[in-house]
Amino acid sequence: MIATEEIMHAFDVENIRRQFPVLNRTVKGKPLVYLDSAATSQKPQVVIDALVDYYSGFNANIHRGIHSLAEEATAAFEATRDAVKNFIHASSREEIIFTRGTTEGINLVAYTWGRQNIKAGDEIIISAMEHHSNIVPWQVLCEEKNAVLKVIPINDEGELLMDEFYKLLSPKTKLVSVVHVSNALGTVNPVKQITDAAHNAGAVVMIDGAQSTVHLDIDVQQLDCDFFAFSAHKLYGPTGAGVLFGKKHLLETMPVFQGGGEMIKEVTFAKTTFNDLPYKYEAGTPNIADVVAFKAALDFISETGKEAIAQHEHELLRYATAQLQSIPGLTIIGRAKEKAGVASFIIEKLHTQDIAIILDNQGIAVRTGHHCTQPLMDRFGISGTTRASFAVYNTRQEIDALVSGLHKAIRLLS
């Protein structure tokens, strides 16, 4: 283990920032302060270069051609699969399915494993802090199968009430699907405990890793989850690409998700036999360029150092929390003991949209609204929050700019 002082000494945020071209621009005549990485992260030059290199150097369809460009494109695409396997410590590359993102990964599990295994009277457990992408697919499935959806409640700090979760588990529980890190609160949930308890009850576990994979070191074997989904665009990679990890023995027995090319071995009008993993779940021409460029993003994270990035983001969150708490009338929503780089807040008598407009006029990008977590907002009795989210390229000076901007918003709107 490297000492914290050594990590911080080695971490050069200005050097990091120089690798992100968009951070050089201005907004409304002011230097851009980008505090919306929980929605999507900015992209380093190496990722942009990888996209350009693919289209300008070896653009071709994959797995189907024997000409040189097709072979080069296939090799680059499959190299990303190997990089993802190593990044999340999967045991097999066959367990890595490329998707369009976290949402598609969760839907894939709902439409395949869910429709095969959920019966009338069965129970699915989610939590009160889920993104709509981890609510709606299970609602649809429960309505179709006449199953029951149960919800783990949370406390006022934005933490799961684990004793209540244990009470919800029963022989009827077939699936537990929970978010690892809340996009709206930043809460880091105890997913290993959840997985162990669910397995003891005979249930399968799905983890929404959209927010956690960029902040935490992910080891799906240690977590022992059955499914884990995440998106490239929150990991400094391109949009439109994502990953579903699934345990091989489950993926092998699940029905197909989409029919078409690549997911087949042989097609006749009488019968179709399906391809081996992982291609069984990758019908049609995939998002080749963005998957290829995703490897550059993973390499960027690995070379920068996951531990160094996590320490930097932790210090930003600690500093931001202290500074925000000094603002009169401001209340932070989500004060869990374990948090990742998200600070959500409301300001008394101020509308979140008005705050965002004033901040944008100062070049500061934040997210406002319900953050696709409307039931969570209802739990806190609010319509939404202003959310600042932090990444590898953010600085204390940018947090100071946010605080200054909020003071200006209060002066103008009060």
**Residues 311 and 298 reside in one and the same domain:** no
Determine the pLDDT at residue 264.
Answer: 65
Question: pLDDT by residue (tens digit) across 218-268?
Answer: 999 999 999 999 999 999 999 999 999 999 999 999 988 877 777 667 767
Domain housing 322: 4-37+305-413
For every residue of 360-410, DSSP letters joined together read HTTTEE-EEE-TT-HHHHHHHT-S-EEEEE--TT--HHHHHHHHHHHHHHH
The DSSP bridge partners found for residue 386 are 345, 368
Determine the pLDDT at residue 160.
Answer: 98
Question: pLDDT by residue (tens digit) across 141-200?
Answer: 999 999 999 999 999 999 999 999 999 999 999 999 999 999 999 999 999 999 999 999
Cα 59 vs. chain centroid, distance in angstroms?
A: 28
As to burial, measured by CB atoms within 10 angstroms (0-12 exposed, 13-18 middle, 19+ buried), residue 205 is buried
Task: Please check the confidence at residue 5 and state whether its pLDDT lies above 50.
Answer: no
The verdict on residue 43 lying in a domain is no
Show the tokens assigned to 246: 């699934």
Report residue 92's pLDDT band, with 50, 70 and 90 as the boundaries: very high
**Residues 12 and 116 reside in one and the same domain:** no
Task: Kindly report the pTM of this predicted structure.
Answer: 0.94
Between the alpha carbon of residue 269 and those of residues 24, 93, 273, 283, the distances in Å are 57, 32, 11, 18
**Residues 23 and 84 reside in one and the same domain:** no
- Backbone phi, psi, residue 388, to 5°: -105, 130
**Residues 143 and 238 reside in one and the same domain:** yes
**Residues 186 and 332 reside in one and the same domain:** no
Q: Which of 262, 281, 302 corresponds to the end of one domain?
A: 302
The verdict on residue 358 lying in a domain is yes
Burial 2-29 (b: 16+ CB within 10 A, else e): eeeeebeeebeeeebbebbeebeeeeee
Active-site annotation holds for 372: yes
Q: Which of 243, 271, 302 corresponds to the end of one domain?
A: 302
Determine the pLDDT at residue 271.
Answer: 77
3-state helix, strand, coil in the chain (%, to 5): 45, 20, 35
CATH assignment at residue 88: 3.40.640.10
Share of the chain above pLDDT 90, in %: 89
The verdict on residue 59 lying in a domain is yes
Q: Which residues contact 266 (CB under 8 A, 6 or more apart)?
A: 272, 273
Determine the pLDDT at residue 10.
Answer: 58
Q: Which residues contact 156 (CB under 8 A, 6 or more apart)?
A: none
As to burial, measured by CB atoms within 10 angstroms (0-12 exposed, 13-18 middle, 19+ buried), residue 141 is buried
Q: Which of 302, 329, 362 corresponds to the end of one domain?
A: 302
The verdict on residue 42 lying in a domain is no
The total of structural domains in the chain comes to: 2
Question: pLDDT by residue (tens digit) across 258-295?
Answer: 777 776 677 678 777 777 889 999 988 999 999 999 99
Q: What is the mean pLDDT of the chain?
A: 94
| Four-point Cα dihedral 41, 44, 48, 54, nearest 10 | -100
As to burial, measured by CB atoms within 10 angstroms (0-12 exposed, 13-18 middle, 19+ buried), residue 249 is exposed
Count of residues making up the chain: 414
Which of 23, 372, 382, 403 does the annotation list as catalytic?
372
Question: pLDDT by residue (tens digit) across 373-405?
Answer: 999 999 999 999 999 999 999 999 999 999 999
